[in-house]
Amino acid sequence: MAFFSSTATVPQNLTFVSSNKLSFSPSSTTSFNFVSFPSFQSKFCKTITSSPQITRAHAPPTPSTETTTASSFHGLCYVVGDNIDTDQIIPAEHLTLVPSKPDEYQKLGSFALIGLPDSYTVRFVESGETKTKYSIIIGGANFGCGSSREHAPVALGASGAAAVVAESYARIFFRNSVATGEVYPLESETRLCEECRTGDVVTVELAENRLINHTSGKEYQLKPIGDAGPVIEAGGIFAYARKTGMIPTR
């Protein structure tokens, strides 16, 4: 399961914690490869390698059983409006890609949010790229409505996004995000989609349920994760089920 399968146990102190500095080095701005840009954006598991290898739901399981909880996400944000449905997140013509196949998983990432109308002048994934430079998506109400396609959170995760902070979610998308671990689905107290602009640098502090917009200097309260918490903390539905004895351990 994505959440906590890790290539290496990473000590907590490598998680980005400072809220007062932008910790990217000048050299990393040349390419918007998501790894070289503030590398702390990789989600629940921290990878300290510089290769684009991301440990995610569909990578081969590792023998390591120790897991690390990410305590924050940091990076550029991409702002969308209300009712962003799954057809906009990943248009149906790309659903022939099977998320559990590693190469097709990567391809899904390159199509993330490609269905957004042309009124979105900045693309989430640049033309010709396979990864996004935005680690956090800020959405309005009812994010992820429409189809049950798990390809939606998968595409976002595969593109390199770490978290979504939306005013509210559609049920199946939220569930799929929690189940796959592809993006951490957070809810805001206010309409952040009206407060933030695409390209703002933000940090999400999970333990404090807080989002900091470094570009505007403002901070916002987020809602606690709620019922999904135990499932996310366990490491997804399979890990949770094993932990609670509902299915046998492997």
Partner 1 sequence: MASSLVPSPSTSFFHTTKRCHKHASRKIYCSVAAPQQTQRTPSTTGSVKTAMTMTEKIMARASEKQQVRPGDNIWTNVDILMTHDVCGPGSIGIFKKEFGEDAKVWDREKVVIIPDHYIFTSDERANRNVDILRDFCNEQDIKYFYDIKDLSNFKANPDYKGVCHIALAQEGHCRPGEVLLGTDSHTCTAGAFGQFATGIGNTDAGFVLGAGKLLLKVPPTLRFVMDGEMPDYLLAKDLILQIIGEITVAGATYKSMEFVGSTVESLNMEERMTLCNMVVEAGGKNGVIPPDSVTYKYLEGKTSVPYESVYSDQQARFLSGYRFDVTKLEPLVAKPHSPDNRALARECKDVKINRVYIGSCTGGKTEDFMAAAKVFLASGGKKVKVPTFLVPATQKVWMDVYSLPVPGSGGKTCSQIFEEAGCDTPASPSCGACLGGPKDTYARMNEPQVCVSTTNRNFPGRMGHREGEIYLASPYTAAASALTGYVTDPREFLQ
The distance of closest approach from Cβ of residue 113 to partner 1 in the complex, given in angstroms and rounded to an integer, is 12
The distance of closest approach from Cβ of residue 185 to partner 1 in the complex, given in angstroms and rounded to an integer, is 13
The distance of closest approach from Cβ of residue 217 to partner 1 in the complex, given in angstroms and rounded to an integer, is 31
**Partners of 137 in the β-ladder:** 78, 164
The distance of closest approach from Cβ of residue 118 to partner 1 in the complex, given in angstroms and rounded to an integer, is 7
| Range in contact with partner 1 (rule: CB under 8 A) among 6-14, 28-36, 72-80, 238-246 | 238-246
How far is 193 from 200, CA to CA, in rounded Å? 12
**Which parts of 41-70 interact with partner 1 (CB under 8 A)?**
57-58, 61
Identity of the residue, 14 or 247, whose beta carbon is nearer to partner 1 in the bound complex: 247
How far is 194 from 196, CA to CA, in rounded Å? 6
By CB under 8 A, name the one of 19, 71, 87, 208 that touches partner 1.
Answer: 87
The distance of closest approach from Cβ of residue 83 to partner 1 in the complex, given in angstroms and rounded to an integer, is 6
92 forms part of the interface with partner 1 (CB under 8 A): yes
Distances in Å between the Cα of 137 and the Cα atoms of 40, 175, 199, 203, 208 are: 16, 17, 10, 12, 19
Distances in Å between the Cα of 76 and the Cα atoms of 29, 212, 248 are: 12, 11, 41
Q: 151-159 and 171-180 are packed helices; what angle lies between their axes, rounded to 10 degrees?
A: 50
CB 216 within 8 A of CB 184: no
By CB under 8 A, name the one of 5, 159, 180, 203 that touches partner 1.
Answer: 180
85 forms part of the interface with partner 1 (CB under 8 A): yes
Nearest to 231 by CA among 52, 44, 66, 24: 44
By CB under 8 A, name the one of 83, 198, 209, 215 that touches partner 1.
Answer: 83
How far is 1 from 55, CA to CA, in rounded Å? 9
Q: What angle do CA 227, 231, 233 make, to 5 degrees?
A: 105
Binding mask 122-141 for partner 1 (x = CB under 8 A): -------------------x
Residue 106 class from Cβ within 10 Å (0-12 exposed, 13-18 middle, 19+ buried)? middle
81 forms part of the interface with partner 1 (CB under 8 A): no
Contact positions toward partner 1, by CB under 8 A? 57-58, 61, 83, 85, 87-88, 91-93, 95-101, 115-118, 141-142, 145-151, 168-172, 175-176, 179-180, 227, 231, 236-238, 240-241, 246-247, 250
